[in-house]
Amino acid sequence: MMNKKNMLNSLVAVVTAGLLFSACTKDGPVDGTDVTAPSTATAKTGPISVCYVEVNNNNILNVGNYTLKNGGQQLFDIAIIFAANINYNTTTKKAVLFNNDKVTKVLSNKATYIKPLQDKGIKVLLSILGNHQGAGFCNFTSRASAKEFAQQLSNAVTTYNLDGIDFDDEYAEYGVNGTTQPNDSSFVMLVQELRKLMPTKLITFYYYGPAASRVQWNGQRVGDNVNYSWNANYGSFSAPNVPPMGKAVLGPAAVWINHTSASTAKSLAQSTKNQGYGVYLAYDLPGTNMATYLSSFSTVLYGDSVKLSSPLQSWP
């Protein structure tokens, strides 16, 4: 598994649309999943905040250590474990879900690393990333093969009591090991099959790679089965184009903590607020105190600064 951003410049709707955040309308989660702050504090008003953690290097628990200074709510609503992989079995010629040792440690110790975040009202997702083996979300050649991989993802969510799956179409290296190139139907079928298996879980889309230009096929749309999608180019403001998803579930602002300046993070937050978007993305939360940096956008989004409310956790 490689670092997510070496390339800085590179709902079937279910039942009814339920509650989202106070800033959101119809464009909310297909399953009505509520990812607001825990009931111990008044739900904060504004976009949801999403945080990826490179678990090769940092402890996922640190996502839950940041709260709004005056309101007491959790800063982050969604924590994403970065990342499991979509690998390719050259014998069976099938895509397989793979977890490296660090991801395995997090998942296998869900009571230690996942449940504490969920107890704070934070949804925990597993991101799936290519691994240079030719397998990706965009080259399934049949619905059966897409369904088979979707079943692996659903099984992982059930086994580890996760809140959903995040798709990141990077590093697949389509064509390696004799695999096929991206096609128009694959990603649509994969998301459809996963939604059937996970009607009440979150599915999110990191808007990048071949999948970003293959969100519609034969009148069927990825956006009918995805809860949220966000921009993948850090330091920029660019809304994903995933019909029929609207502003309330899109994140055009993305920051790479420690790389995107605090002034840019603040400006992107202001654009998010001014233009009525419902998601703000932060990537690569480190194991050091980032309260000052995180306050640069929280003060705009929520009218409140951030504090470190509990000690940071180290990661062996």
Tokens read off for 139: 């080259």
In the numeric block, which tokens belong to residue 173?
């290296």
Helices (H), the chain: 101-108, 110-113, 115-119, 143-159, 186-197, 262-274, 291-301
Here the tokens at position 306 are 């951030």
- Give the residue from 170, 172, 180 showing the smallest Cα distance to 205: 170
Joined tokens for residue 313: 């956790």
| Closest residue by Cα to residue 196 from 136, 153, 244 | 153
255, 235 Cβ separation under 8 angstroms: yes
Nearest to 201 by CA among 169, 226, 168: 226
Active-site entry in 54, 170, 173, 193: 170
- Bridge partner list, 294: none
Give the end-to-end CA distance of the chain in Å, rounded to a whole number: 18
Nearest Cα neighbor of 107 from 125, 87, 121 is 125
Distance between CA atoms of residues 298 and 3, nearest Å: 26
Whether residue 148 lies in the annotated active site: no
Length of the chain: 316
How wide is the angle at C-alpha 129 spanned by C-alphas 47 and 93, nearest 5°?
145
Q: Which residues are catalytic?
A: 170
